[in-house]
Structure 1
Amino acid sequence: MYVVSKWGFDLIPPVTLGFLRVAVGAGALWLAVAGRGGPAPSRSEWPTFVALGGWVTVTIATQFVGTELTNASQGSLLTVLTPVFTVLLGAAVLGERVTTAKAGGMTVAGVGTAVVVAGQYDLGSMAAGNALGVALLLVGSATWAGYTVWGLRAVRRHGALRAATYSSLASLPMLGALAAGELWYLGLSPADLPLTAESVAAVLYLGLGATAAAWYLWYKGLEYVPAGTVAVFFFAQPAVGAALGAALLGESLGSGFVVGGALMTVGIWTVSRDRAETADGASDAATE
C-alpha cells in the first residue's frame, strides 16, 4: 500500500487519493453486503458507524499526507506503533488484560520489526524528513487503533463485513469534504486529475486490495480474538513488504531480515499462544 500510495501521489493529491481509495473500497464492500441480503442499519445504529467513519477519515488523511511528507524508513517504523496504541486502548476501553506473555511477545515482535527496518533502510535517513509528516503518521497509527478498539463491539454485533462496509460508507462525506478542500487549496478541479491507466490502477489496487479486502479481514479477526491480539500482526508489515519487494521487484533483502523476521514470528506466536491459553483457562473455569 505504501509503495503504491507514494507512487500515486505523483498523479493525485494525497487526501483526494485517499477519498477515491475509500470510495472504491466502500462500493465493493457494499456490493458484497447487498449480495448477501439482510436489513440495512436502523437509524439508532448509524451513530456507531458514523463514529467509526470519523476514525477512518482521520486515519486516511493523516496516513496519506504523512506518507507523502516522510521517507520510507520513517513510514515503515512509525506505522507499526499501531499495536502499541491498540493494546493500551484495549486495556483502557475494553478492559482487555495485558498479560506478561502478551507484553513480552509484543516487545519481541517490536524489536524484530526494528531490526528488519534497520537492515532495509539507512539508519541515518530515519532522522531526516519532515517533522509534520512524522507527527501525522503517529496520529494515523493512533486513530487506526481507535478504529480497531471502538469497532470491536460493532463487529461482534453486526459482523465484520457489515461493520467494515457501513463505517467506510459513513466516512465518505467527511473524506469528500477534505478532498474538495485540498483541491481548492491546490487550485485544481476534479477534471484536472489525470485519467490514465496508472492512476486507475493505483486507485483500484488501493480501493479493492488495501481497503475492501484488508479492512474486512482486519475486522474479521476481531470476531474471534481481542483487539490487542489482532493488532500484534501489524508488526509483520515491514517484513511482508520487504519480502514482496524481493519477490516482485527484485529488491535485495536487508541484512536483518532473517533475524528480525524470526523475532517477529516468536513474538506473534507468543501473543497468539497467550490468547489461546487464556481462552482455554476461561473455558475450564466456566466448566468447573
Structure 2
Amino acid sequence: MFVVSKWSFAFVPPVTMGFFRVALGALALWLGVVATNRRGSRGGDGGAGIDRADWPAFVGLGGWVAVTIATQFLGTELTNASQGSLLTVLTPVFAVVLGASVLGERITRSKAGGIALAAVGTAVVLAGQYDLTTIAAGNAVGVGLLVVASFAWAGYTVWGVSVVRKYSALTAATYSTIAATPMLAVLAAIELAVLGRGIGSIPVTAESIFATAYLGLASTAAAWYLWYKGLEFVSAGTVAVFYFLQPVVGISLGALLLGEQIGAGFVVGSLVVGIGVWIVSRDRTDNDREQRSGHDQ
C-alpha cells in the first residue's frame, strides 16, 4: 500500500487519492453486504438491522478512518522510507495502550514481552534496509502526521471492537468506510482548491486506474474487512501486534517485485518479529477467550 500510494502521488494529490481509495472501498464493501444479505449470511443486514442508537458509533469510526487516510497519505508524501516504515509500527503500541485503558484488556507478561520483541525485530529489519540516521533529518510535519495516523488507526481498531462484536466485521467495515467517504470528499475538495486544481485535472490513465483499484479493493475493502474480522476472535491488542509484520512484508515485496537487495539484518530481524508475533498470538487472555466464545456462540 505504501509503495503504490507513494507512486500514485505523482499524478493524483494525496488526500484526493485517499478519497478515491475509500470511495471505491466503500462501494466494494457495500456490494459485499448486499451479496451476503441475499444469501442470508451474518453481516449482510444492509443497514436495516442496525439500531438507530448505534449509527453515531459508525460515524465515529468513519471519523477515525478519515483522519487516518488524510494524515497517512500526507505524511507518506512528506517523509522518507525509513521514517514511514518506523513510525507506522507505533500503531500496535497505541492499540495496546488504548485497549487497556478504554476496553480494560489485560496485558500479560508474555504479551508485553512478545510486543517488545517484535518491536526490536522491526528496528533490526529497518536498520538493515535504511540509514536510520536520516530519520531525524526528515520533514517534522510529515513525521507528526504519521504519528497521528498511527494513533487514529489504533482508535479505529479499539473503538471498533464493540461494533464488530455486536454486528459483524463486514457490517462494521462497510458502514464506517461509507461514513468516511463524504468526510474525505470535503478534505479532497479543500486540497484541490489549495493546489488550484479541478477534478478534471486528475489524469485518467492506466496507472491512475490501477493505483485506485489496488488501494480501494485490496488495501481498503479486503484489508479493512480482514482486520475487523480478526477482532471477532481476539482482543484489539492481539490483532494490532500483526502490524509489526508490515515492514517485513513491504521490504519482501520490494525485493520480489522491484529487485531491491535485502541483507542479513533483514533476515534476523524478520525472525525476531515473527517470534514476537507468535508469542502474542499464542497468549490467550481472558479478553481473547471471551471474544472467541462469543463468536462461536
Q: TM-score, normalised by structure 2?
A: 0.92
C-alpha separation between the residues in 2 aligned to 1:281 and 1:49?
Answer: 23
The secondary structure found in structure 1 opposite 2:135 is: helix
**Any stretches of 5+ residues in structure 2 without a counterpart?**
38-44, 293-297
C-alpha separation between the residues in 2 aligned to 1:279 and 1:3?
Answer: 33
Contact kept in structure 1, 2:233 and 2:288, CA below 8 Å: no
| Structure 1 residue corresponding to 2:223, chosen from 214, 218, 226 | 214
Query: Does residue 98 of structure 1 match 2:107?
Result: yes
Contact kept in structure 2, 1:78 and 1:141, CA below 8 Å: yes
Query: Which residue is equivalent to 1:286?
Result: none
State the Cα deviation string for residues 65-123 of structure 1 (Å, max 9, x = none). Answer: 00000001100000001000000000000000011111110000000001001101112
State the Cα deviation string for residues 132-151 of structure 1 (Å, max 9, x = none). Answer: 00000000000100000000
Query: Which residue is equivalent to 2:122?
Result: 113
C-alpha separation between the residues in 1 aligned to 2:53 and 2:235?
Answer: 26
C-alpha separation between the residues in 2 aligned to 1:39 and 1:251?
Answer: 45
Identity of aligned residues (%): 64
Residue identity opposite 2:72 in structure 1: Q
TM-aligned CA deviation for residue 266 of structure 1: 1.1
State the Cα deviation string for residues 193-234 of structure 1 (Å, max 9, x = none). Answer: 111110111010000010000000000000000000000000
Task: After TM superposition, list the pairs within 5 Å mapping 1:73-84 onto structure 2.
Answer: 73-84=82-93
TM-aligned CA deviation for residue 175 of structure 1: 0.6
| Structure 1 residue corresponding to 2:140, chosen from 111, 131, 138 | 131
Contact kept in structure 2, 1:29 and 1:212, CA below 8 Å: yes
Q: TM-score, normalised by structure 1?
A: 0.95
Query: Which residue is equivalent to 1:165?
Result: 174
C-alpha separation between the residues in 1 aligned to 2:287 and 2:62?
Answer: 32
Query: Which residue is equivalent to 2:260?
Result: 251
C-alpha separation between the residues in 1 aligned to 2:136 and 2:149?
Answer: 19
Report how many residues are paired: 283
TM-aligned CA deviation for residue 276 of structure 1: 6.7
C-alpha separation between the residues in 2 aligned to 1:128 and 1:19?
Answer: 30
Query: Which residue is equivalent to 2:42?
Result: none
Query: Which residue is equivalent to 2:2?
Result: 2
Task: After TM superposition, list the pairs within 5 Å mapping 1:246-285 onto structure 2.
Answer: 246-275=255-284
Query: Which residue is equivalent to 2:11?
Result: 11
Query: Which residue is equivalent to 1:63?
Result: 72
Contact kept in structure 2, 1:116 and 1:254, CA below 8 Å: no
C-alpha separation between the residues in 1 aligned to 2:112 and 2:266?
Answer: 23
C-alpha separation between the residues in 2 aligned to 1:18 and 1:234?
Answer: 20
Residue identity opposite 2:126 in structure 1: V
TM-aligned CA deviation for residue 127 of structure 1: 2.1
- 256-265 or 144-153, larger mean C-alpha shift: 256-265
Q: Return structure 1 stretches of 4+ with deviation > 6 angstroms.
A: 280-283
C-alpha separation between the residues in 2 aligned to 1:282 and 1:181?
Answer: 41
Contact kept in structure 2, 1:6 and 1:67, CA below 8 Å: yes
Query: Does residue 197 of structure 1 match 2:206?
Result: yes
C-alpha distance 160-278 of structure 1, shift in aligned 2 (>3 A): closer
Query: Which residue is equivalent to 1:35?
Result: 35
C-alpha separation between the residues in 1 aligned to 2:287 and 2:161?
Answer: 19
Residue identity opposite 1:32 in structure 2: G
